[in-house]
Structure 1
Amino acid sequence: MRQLVLALAAGGLALAGVAADAAAQTAMTLRDRLVVVSSASSAGLTQLLTRNFTERFAGVVPPATEAVGSAAALERFCTGIGPQTPDLAIVTRRMPRAMVENCSANGVRDIVEVQIGLGAVVLVTRRGEAMPALSSRQVWEAVAAERPVDEEFVPNTTRFWSDIAPGLPRSEIRVIVPDHGAGTRALFDDLVMESGCRYVKEIRLLFEAAYRRGKCVNSRIDGRLIAVPSDHVVAALLSAPPGTIAAMSYDQLVSSGGNLVALALDGTPPTAATIGSLDYGPVRTFYLYAKRQHSRSQDGVGVVRGIREFLLEATGEQAGGPGGYLTAAGLLPLMPADRAAQRRIAEHSTVMSR
C-alpha cells in the first residue's frame, strides 16, 4: 500500500510538471491575439477574413485590425520584430524592393507573401440603355466635388454628360456608388477617381500628396452622386431614372442575371479575361504579408499563435475560391493554378525571395 501511495504521488508530481511545462510554454507566447494592419481598400476583406478565422478555430481571440493605408501598413509591418509590431499586413500593392530592404534593416527578414485574389470595380448600366464607353477622366469630371476652371478650383455644377465631352449623351449625371467603408468604394476612389485626375495640370501642381488625393477623391454632395450600402447598389440602379450608371464589384455584375451591362473604361471592357490579365485598368491584387519570425515554434516559443493558420484560411477555397466568402468584399479568384501555388506557400510558410 505504501508503495502504491508513493507511485500515485510520483505520478501526480509528473502531471503537475507537465502542466507547469505547458503553462511555461504558453507564457512564452508574448501576445494572445494576431495584429493585422491593412489598406483602406482591403478593410472589408480583412474583416471577413478575421471573422471567419475566429469562427473556424475555437477559443481563438479575435485578431486586432486597423486600416491605415497600403504604404502605412507596410511601413508599420516593417518597423521590427516583437509583440509591439504587427504580425500580418493585407494590402493592394506588392511590397516594393525598397520596403523589403527597410524590413531587413529592421530585422524583419522571414516574410511570407501570398496573393489572396483580385479586386475590380466596374461601371454598369441597365441592359438596353445607350451609354457609351467612358474614361476615368470623364468619370472624375462628372462626380468630383470641384473642377478646375481658369486654374482655380470651383464647385462642380455640371449637369449633363454632354457637358463633359461632345460624344456623351445629353442625359443627366447620376452615379450610384457604395458607401464609404465598402471595399468596392475604396477601389472606385483609388482606381477610377484618383486615376481620372492623375494628369489634371492643376492637381499635379499641388505640392502635398494628401491634398492632391483630397482633390481627386472628394465627391459632389448635390445629389448627382448617390451613395448606398454596397449590397443595395444593384437594386438602386434597377429602380433609378434612365441614364443612371453605378459602380460595383465585378462579382455583383456577374450575379445580376444579365440585367446589367458593363461599360468599357479607358478603352477596355471588363471581362474575366481582361481582369485576370490585368489589361482592365481598375484592378488590384490583394497581398497578404506575414512575419514567420513571429510564429510560435514547436516548443511553444514565439510572439503569437495562429499565423500559419491565418495564411491557410486566406488561401483556402472557402475564402478566395469561386463562390468563396471573400467575393462579398468584391474579390475575384485567382486562376486555379495560381490559387494552388499560393496554398503551397501558406502550407510551408515559404519565405519570399526578392
Structure 2
Amino acid sequence: MRLPKTVLRMAALWAILLGAGAAPAATSGNDPVVPWLAVSTTQMPFARAVADRVGRRDPGLREPVPILRDVATAEGFERLCSGAPTLAAVIATRRMTAREYDRCRAAEVIDVVELTVGLSALGLVHGAALPIDGLTSRSLYLAIARMVPRDGKLVPNPYTSWHEIDPALPAIPIAVALPSPREARRAQFDDAIMEAGCRPLPEIRSVYGADKRRQLCIQARTDGMVQEADDPAELIRRIAAPGSTVLTILSLADLRSGAEEGAPAVNAPISIDGIPPVPDRFLDGRYPLTMATRLYLTRRALDQAGGLRDYVAEFLREAAIGPGGYLEPLGLVPLPTDDRRLARRNAANLRLFAP
C-alpha cells in the first residue's frame, strides 16, 4: 500500500522534530552544548513540569534537557532574534510584535516558528481585609493611574480610598502591588485593563498621539499607593499577611503552584467587569486577563540545540496539554481539540511565524 505524499511528508517532518536520525548537537570536547529557554514568569510552572517529564521519562537522554531561565519576554525575543547560539526558544504569553520580528529579519533570523499550546490567565487577588468581590476596568484605572480625569481635565490622581472611586466599594485606602513594567504580566494588565478603563474617556481621547494616550493610560501613580514586586511568592506573602488590604495580580498557575508548595492561603481571584475567571470565559475570550501559552523557536535551533526536539515534542503531547493532562492542574486550560491538532501540524511543518 502506497501512502499519500502528504502523509509521508508529515511523518518525515515529525521525525525531524523528534530528532529521529538527527545529528548530535554541537559539542565542546565531548560535552553537548546545553541550550536554555527564556521563560515568562507566568509560564515557568508549565515549563518546569515539561522539563521534569522529559528528564524522568528518559534519564539516559544523549542530549541534555534545556535549562529554564526566568527572562522578560521582550528580552527573550531580542536574544532569539540576535541569533544567540544557546538560546533555543522563548515561552511567552504574548505574540511577537511586527517590530520585534523586523529585528529578527534584520539579523537574518527568518526561520521563527510560533506554536500556541494552551491558555492561562491572570487573576485579581486581594488581602482578607479588603471586602471586594469584583471590580471594573474603570475603577482599576482610576485607582492605579498617575493622571486621571477630573472636572474635564487630567490631574494627578487624587483618590486615596476605593470608596472615593465608587460609593459601592469599601472606604479602605488604595493599596496595589503590581509587577514591574518589564514583566509580561504587567503588559497584559496594562493592555487589557488599564487601557480598557481609560480609552473611552473624552479627556484621553482628546490627547493627540496614540503613544501619548497609551502612556497616560498605563503610567502608574508614584505616591506610594501602587508598589512594584516581580516575585510571585512575594506578592502572595503581601496579600496573605494578617489584615492585608493589598490588591495584586497573579497568574492562576502561580496561585496553584504556590498552594502545592505550602504558600499561605489567599482569597480566590475576583471578577472583572462582571466576568469571573473561569475556563469557559477563557475559551470564549470574554475574561480580559486570558493569556495564550506560546512557544517561539527557530528551525536552526531544532537542528542545533541538543534536547530541544524532545522538549517541544513533550510539550505538545496530549498527556501534557489535553484535557486531564498534567499541565491542567497547574493552571493551563486546554485548547479545543482542533486547535491542539493545529499546534502539532504547525510543529510538524515548522510553519513560519507571520506577525
- TM-score by length of structure 2 reads 0.63
Q: Distance in 2 between matches of 1:89 and 1:226?
A: 24
Query: Aligned with 1:260: secondary structure?
Result: coil
- The verdict on how the C-alpha distance between 1:314 and 1:202 changes in structure 2, with shifts beyond 3 A counting, is farther
Report the Cα offset of residue 68 of structure 1.
Answer: 6.0
Query: Aligned with 2:272: secondary structure?
Result: coil
Instruction: State which of 280, 285, 297 in structure 2 corresponds to 1:290.
Output: 297
The answer to whether structure 1 residue 276 and structure 2 residue 283 are counterparts is yes
Matched to 2:64, the amino acid is: V
Alignment of 1:76-95 (within 5 A): 88-94=89-95
Matched to 1:218, the amino acid is: A
Q: Distance in 2 between matches of 1:281 and 1:159?
A: 26
- The verdict on how the C-alpha distance between 1:317 and 1:214 changes in structure 2, with shifts beyond 3 A counting, is farther
- After superposition, the C-alpha distances for 1:16-52 in whole angstroms (9 at most, x for unaligned) are xxxxxx999869xxx94546567xxx24536973897
Matched to 1:271, the amino acid is: V
Instruction: State which of 225, 248, 251 in structure 1 corresponds to 2:250.
Output: 248
Report the Cα offset of residue 334 of structure 1.
Answer: 1.8
**Structure 1 residues 61-70 or 111-120, which shifts more?**
61-70
- The verdict on how the C-alpha distance between 1:110 and 1:183 changes in structure 2, with shifts beyond 3 A counting, is closer
Alignment of 1:93-112 (within 5 A): 93-94=94-95, 111-112=112-113
- TM-score by length of structure 1 reads 0.63
Matched to 1:222, the amino acid is: G
- The verdict on how the C-alpha distance between 1:295 and 1:63 changes in structure 2, with shifts beyond 3 A counting, is same
Q: Distance in 2 between matches of 1:113 and 1:83?
A: 18
Alignment of 1:27-46 (within 5 A): 32=33, 34=35, 42-43=40-41, 45=43
- The verdict on how the C-alpha distance between 1:254 and 1:139 changes in structure 2, with shifts beyond 3 A counting, is same
Query: Aligned with 1:88: secondary structure?
Result: strand
Identical amino acids, percent of aligned pairs: 25
Q: Distance in 1 between matches of 2:244 and 2:109?
A: 54
Q: Distance in 2 between matches of 1:51 and 1:260?
A: 25
The answer to whether structure 1 residue 138 and structure 2 residue 142 are counterparts is no
The answer to whether structure 1 residue 60 and structure 2 residue 58 are counterparts is no
Report the Cα offset of residue 136 of structure 1.
Answer: 1.5
Q: Which has the higher contact order (CA 8 A, sep 6+)?
A: 2
- The verdict on how the C-alpha distance between 1:186 and 1:108 changes in structure 2, with shifts beyond 3 A counting, is closer
Corresponding position of 2:239: 237
User: Retained in 1: the 8 A contact 2:127–2:243?
Assistant: no
Q: Distance in 2 between matches of 1:278 and 1:232?
A: 29
Corresponding position of 2:351: 351
The structure with more radius of gyration: 1
- After superposition, the C-alpha distances for 1:150-191 in whole angstroms (9 at most, x for unaligned) are 64442x341221211344333332334467777645543443
Matched to 1:289, the amino acid is: Y
Corresponding position of 2:211: 209
Query: Aligned with 2:334: secondary structure?
Result: coil
- The verdict on how the C-alpha distance between 1:352 and 1:326 changes in structure 2, with shifts beyond 3 A counting, is farther
Q: Distance in 2 between matches of 1:161 and 1:281?
A: 21
- The size of the alignment, in residue pairs, is 317
Report the Cα offset of residue 98 of structure 1.
Answer: 9.7
Corresponding position of 1:17: none
Instruction: State which of 249, 252, 263 in structure 1 corresponds to 2:270.
Output: 263
Matched to 2:218, the amino acid is: C
Q: Distance in 1 between matches of 2:80 and 2:189?
A: 26
Matched to 2:89, the amino acid is: L
Report the Cα offset of residue 142 of structure 1.
Answer: 0.6
Query: Aligned with 1:333: secondary structure?
Result: coil
Query: Aligned with 1:262: secondary structure?
Result: coil
Q: Distance in 1 between matches of 2:237 and 2:147?
A: 29
**Structure 1 residues 186-195 or 277-286, which shifts more?**
186-195
User: Retained in 1: the 8 A contact 2:65–2:308?
Assistant: no
Query: Aligned with 1:274: secondary structure?
Result: helix
Corresponding position of 1:49: 47
Query: Aligned with 2:271: secondary structure?
Result: coil
- After superposition, the C-alpha distances for 1:331-352 in whole angstroms (9 at most, x for unaligned) are 5232473685367347735425
User: Retained in 1: the 8 A contact 2:315–2:321?
Assistant: yes
CA RMSD for the aligned pairs?
Answer: 5.1
